[in-house]
Chain A
Amino acid sequence: MMPRVLILEPHDDVRMFLECSMRRLGYEPVAPTDCSPGAVDAVVLEPSWTHGRTILEQLGDAVPPVVCLSIFPREAGLAPPESVAYLTKPSSLQELAAALRGALRPLIP
């Protein structure tokens, strides 16, 4: 079964790119509307998007590892506590793949 990655990104074009990237990397992209607590293995989050942060909070204790992909640098202090990697836009597909591999490592036997 493919690992499921929740994409919390406010901009359509970037979200579309991330969905394509997830499929290419062998993950199943999950939209916020299809998300339920415990049903995702990792999250790609734009931490400056307030609504995205709210959705993340709604996952309660079941928040999986979060990869931040932001227009703001790490120094802006936006990363949530669950964050395991922080990338600044635009990042390459390889950087994103490496960050997700790191986030999903506990799942890989």
Chain B
Amino acid sequence: MASQLHSRVRRLARRRHVVTILALAGLAATFGLMLGLRATETLGTVAFAPWVGLIGFDAGVLAGVLTAAAATGLWLLASSHEGTHASTVQILVRIAYLGMLGVGTAVAGRRLHAGEREHRSFAALQSALIDATLDGICLTDREGNLLILNAPLRRLSLELGLPLVGTVPEQLLSIAHRMVDPERYRRRMTELAESTGESTSDEFELAGTGRVFRGFTAPVSDASGGFAGRIWTLREVTADRELDRMRDAFVATVSHELRTPLTSISGFLEMMEDEEEGLGETGRTYLDVIRRSTDRLHHLVEDLLLIAQIEAQRVELEYATVDLAELAQVCIDAFRPTAGEKDVKLELVSDRPSPISGDRRRLTQVLDNLVSNAVKFTEEGGKVTVTVAADGDSTTCVVADTGIGIPSDEQGQIFSRFFRASTATQRAIPGTGLGLAISRALVEQHGGTISLESREDKGTRVTMTLPTQHPEEGIHAAAG
């Protein structure tokens, strides 16, 4: 089917050549006659020149030379028929003129054809390359019309039941009803269809199939830097998500099961503490070690369970009036002994902003994580400063330290769960890589933001901004 189409296109192209040659020859003959040339002159040299040039260009040196010879022969024949005899010089001039035309255009044609072949070969390689990727890829113009579509995306489009008519955003919108959250999907696609500058990616799940896809789109610029269209990629991530689900389920199961031995360890430890007086110094040291280790294990289990709850969106906040400065003071007092052991100064700077609406327990947890990290990663003689200040409709809390810092290329991942900075692992500073992930999730659930700036060996500064008023309270107040 494809080869038939190809040969038809080639035939049409050849016909176009013939039409062009005839038109040029006719034009040349007309000009020749208008300039007062004789019919033999016009026919043999002027009208044949386009034939010689184009045949040489298209079919090569031999064809060009043969056409030139035929043209010269025809001119000689016509001259003889007319009764005029060309001189040797005239014959040689015409042979030279037509021969050079045939050979010259043939050489130019060969070069151009070689370039074209190279271009076709490169285009075929590019096409093979984008067809060989695992991702579905397509390119659309400014209006969203399809320009390039690779083989994996063609296959995925069939599987997803995309209609393949209309613009790409229209095609994507037409399958919104098949998604797990059609409204969110529709909203995102509409935003994308209207956007020219945004580069974004998102995941969506096909309802009833469990199949999850990650789509990515970015604007493409033309040579002058203007918006030329978009590139779209689509990848099935069902297996990745299934792996995530299995990992989360495993972590949750293990964490729950760890609570059983922790109950007996911490319970008997508590009972032994009542009899601590009867233990010798060595016994008391051992008991201290067991106590510290049990506390760490307890915190680890709680963090693992909380991150699992966060992932499953099962954490509910209990809103109350919270004085962030007071919370920070309590937190600082709790960490002062640990900081003192390392000779790290710990101080609070606050202009006593108004209380905010938040979950006291969860915000305490966030502050504990941030201050704990700051103290843990600050070396002897360093300083940790917690600043709480009003900032318009928000309250900002900054935890700054003069510690070991985080390499700049790792800062983008620092809020990911289980991620630990190389500066911490190299120094064997204990941790789970959960504190910042939990903190970010809890702050965002409060409608706030959290960010980090850090310089290796200089220090880290974490800024948390929380709205003074709970978003829903704001809505109620506005409505009231």
Q: Are A and B genuine complex partners?
A: yes
Per-residue contact bits, chain A 62-75, to B (CB 8 Å; 1 contact, 0 not): 00000001011101
Known: A71-B257, A88-B259. A93 touches B270 (CB 8 A): yes
Q: State whether the Cβ of B298 lies closer than 8 Å to any Cβ in chain A.
A: yes
**A18, closest chain B residue (CB):** B267
The residue that A11 contacts in the complex, of B264, B265, B314, with Cβ under 8 A, is B264
**B273, closest chain A residue (CB):** A93
Interface residues on A, range: 20 to 34
Q: State whether the Cβ of A98 lies closer than 8 Å to any Cβ in chain B.
A: no
| Bound complex: CA A72 to CA B271 (Å) | 24
Is A71 a contact of B259 with CB atoms below 8 Å?
A: yes
Q: State whether the Cβ of A34 lies closer than 8 Å to any Cβ in chain B.
A: no
| Bound complex: CA A75 to CA B306 (Å) | 13
Q: State whether the Cβ of A24 lies closer than 8 Å to any Cβ in chain B.
A: yes
Per-residue contact bits, chain A 36-72, to B (CB 8 Å; 1 contact, 0 not): 0000000000000000000000000000000001011
**A70, closest chain B residue (CB):** B259
Which interface residue of A13, A14, A69, A90 has the most chain B CB atoms within 10 A? A90
Known: A20-B271, A90-B298, A93-B271. A11 touches B256 (CB 8 A): no
A54 CB to closest chain B CB (Å) equals: 20
The residue that A90 contacts in the complex, of B266, B271, B305, with Cβ under 8 A, is B266
Set of chain B residues within 8 Å of A11, measured between Cβ atoms? 260, 264
Per-residue contact bits, chain A 1-38, to B (CB 8 Å; 1 contact, 0 not): 00000000001011011101100100000000000000
| Bound complex: CA A90 to CA B294 (Å) | 10
Is A71 a contact of B270 with CB atoms below 8 Å?
A: no
**Chain B positions 252-274 with a Cβ under 8 Å from a chain A Cβ:** 256-257, 259-268, 270-271
A13 CB to closest chain B CB (Å) equals: 4
Is A93 a contact of B267 with CB atoms below 8 Å?
A: yes
Is B314 a contact of A21 with CB atoms below 8 Å?
A: no
Is A14 a contact of B271 with CB atoms below 8 Å?
A: no
**A10, closest chain B residue (CB):** B260
Set of chain B residues within 8 Å of A90, measured between Cβ atoms? 259, 262-263, 265-267, 298
| Bound complex: CA A76 to CA B446 (Å) | 23
Known: A24-B271, A71-B257, A93-B271. A17 touches B314 (CB 8 A): no
**Chain B positions 295-309 with a Cβ under 8 Å from a chain A Cβ:** 298, 305, 309
Is B262 a contact of A89 with CB atoms below 8 Å?
A: yes
| Bound complex: CA A72 to CA B314 (Å) | 13
Set of chain B residues within 8 Å of A72, measured between Cβ atoms? 256
| Bound complex: CA A14 to CA B257 (Å) | 12
Set of chain B residues within 8 Å of A17, measured between Cβ atoms? 263-264, 267-268
A31 CB to closest chain B CB (Å) equals: 17
Is A89 a contact of B263 with CB atoms below 8 Å?
A: yes
Is B263 a contact of A14 with CB atoms below 8 Å?
A: yes
Is A71 a contact of B298 with CB atoms below 8 Å?
A: no
| Bound complex: CA A20 to CA B272 (Å) | 12
B118 CB to closest chain A CB (Å) equals: 66
**B315, closest chain A residue (CB):** A75
Set of chain B residues within 8 Å of A93, measured between Cβ atoms? 267, 270-271
Set of chain A residues within 8 Å of B298, measured between Cβ atoms? 90
**A96, closest chain B residue (CB):** B267
Set of chain A residues within 8 Å of B264, measured between Cβ atoms? 11, 13-14, 16-17
Is B270 a contact of A92 with CB atoms below 8 Å?
A: yes
Is B271 a contact of A89 with CB atoms below 8 Å?
A: no
| Bound complex: CA A72 to CA B309 (Å) | 12
A64 CB to closest chain B CB (Å) equals: 22
| Bound complex: CA A91 to CA B262 (Å) | 9
Is B256 a contact of A21 with CB atoms below 8 Å?
A: no
| Bound complex: CA A89 to CA B271 (Å) | 16
Set of chain B residues within 8 Å of A89, measured between Cβ atoms? 259-260, 262-263
Set of chain B residues within 8 Å of A71, measured between Cβ atoms? 256-257, 259-260
Set of chain A residues within 8 Å of B259, measured between Cβ atoms? 71, 88-90
Report, nearest first, the 10 A-B pairs whose CB atoms are least far apart.
A13-B264, A17-B267, A71-B259, A90-B263, A89-B259, A89-B263, A90-B266, A90-B262, A71-B256, A17-B264
Q: Which B residues are closer than 8 A to A by beta carbons? A: 256-257, 259-268, 270-271, 298, 305, 309, 314
A-B contact pairs, 6 of them (CB 8 A): A21-B271, A24-B271, A71-B257, A73-B305, A89-B263, A90-B298
Interface contacts beyond A13-B261, A13-B264, A90-B265: sample of 17 additional A-B pairs, CB < 8 Å, sorted by A: A11-B264, A13-B260, A14-B264, A17-B268, A18-B267, A21-B267, A69-B263, A71-B260, A88-B259, A89-B262, A90-B262, A90-B266, A90-B267, A92-B266, A93-B267, A93-B270, A93-B271
